[in-house]
Amino acid sequence: MTRQVTTSTPLDHARRDVRSRVLQRHGQFCEYHRLRVDRQRQAYLSDSSGDDTYTSWWNRALLSGTGYSSDARNFDRTWAGASTGNDTATFYDTTGNDIFAAWPTHAVMYGNGYFNDTAGFESTVGISSGGADQAYLNDSAGDDTYTSWWNRAVLSGSGYSTEARNFVRTWAGASTGNDTATFYDTAGNDNFMAWPTHAVLMGAGYFNDTAGFDRTLAVASTGNDTATSMTRLARILMRPGRRTR
Ligand SMILES: [Ca+2]
Ligand SMILES: [Ca+2]
Ligand SMILES: [Ca+2]
């Protein structure tokens, strides 16, 4: 009769011990980083029942109201929620490329290394300081009004207002309801182009795009402005002060 005997030297024991310690340390390291990503680098800010003001930069989110101030710095992601009261949110960008996206109930600004998210603010404003920034404004299911200038686009409806300032490119989308869009031009040369489902006014340094509005109106002031109906393939030369539907 033979017996299988496993031998193990003190060196084997030592190696196994080292390996298990390394795995244990690795586990602790992974757990530490999981916590860092999942918890430590995200900030959650909540408002008061009164009127609150939110302001964010790429490395900071600040929410304040009567008797309090919550300041989150250097987080990868921040979230701020508004409840009752008249709450306003202002988002500042970076000098790089940033995106501002807003809906009636939430808004977000994000770019390289940061993501600032909000929910429930009645008024939201995204501000671009430079870079190839883009703003996306989304309407409500009800009736909404869009108005744009070369450096500003505003979309508002029942209980909310969203605004994009100084973006080189903006887009606003309309869904259900009776939604209207009005574009104002610059003093220079501008081009308005309209399709049945979308319309664009563009000029030096700006591009204001819309989709789905039931009625669009472009207003021309000075400059050599053109309006093109892409359906009729008609080109109209707009004179100062003349309105084109
Ligand atoms: Ca509030
Ligand atoms: Ca930017
Ligand atoms: Ca709508």
Tens of each residue's pLDDT in the chain, 245 residues: 444 444 445 555 555 555 555 445 545 544 444 444 455 489 999 999 999 999 999 999 999 999 999 999 999 999 999 999 999 999 999 999 999 999 999 999 999 999 999 999 999 999 999 999 999 999 999 999 999 999 999 999 999 999 999 999 999 999 999 999 999 999 999 999 999 999 999 999 999 999 999 999 999 999 999 999 887 654 444 445 545 44
pLDDT given at position 16: 55
State the distance from the centre of ligand 1 to the C-alpha of 119, rounded, in angstroms: 11
pLDDT given at position 35: 44
State the distance from the centre of ligand 1 to the C-alpha of 92, rounded, in angstroms: 21
pLDDT given at position 4: 45
pLDDT given at position 8: 47
Overall pTM surpassing 0.75 (yes/no): yes
pLDDT given at position 229: 86
Show the tokens assigned to 152.
């500003």
pLDDT given at position 187: 97
Residue with tokens 């081009």: 191
pLDDT given at position 205: 94
State the distance from the centre of ligand 3 to the C-alpha of 101, rounded, in angstroms: 16
Ligand nearest to the backbone CA of 132:
2
pLDDT given at position 7: 43
Residue with tokens 């909000």: 118
State the distance from the centre of ligand 2 to the C-alpha of 129, rounded, in angstroms: 5
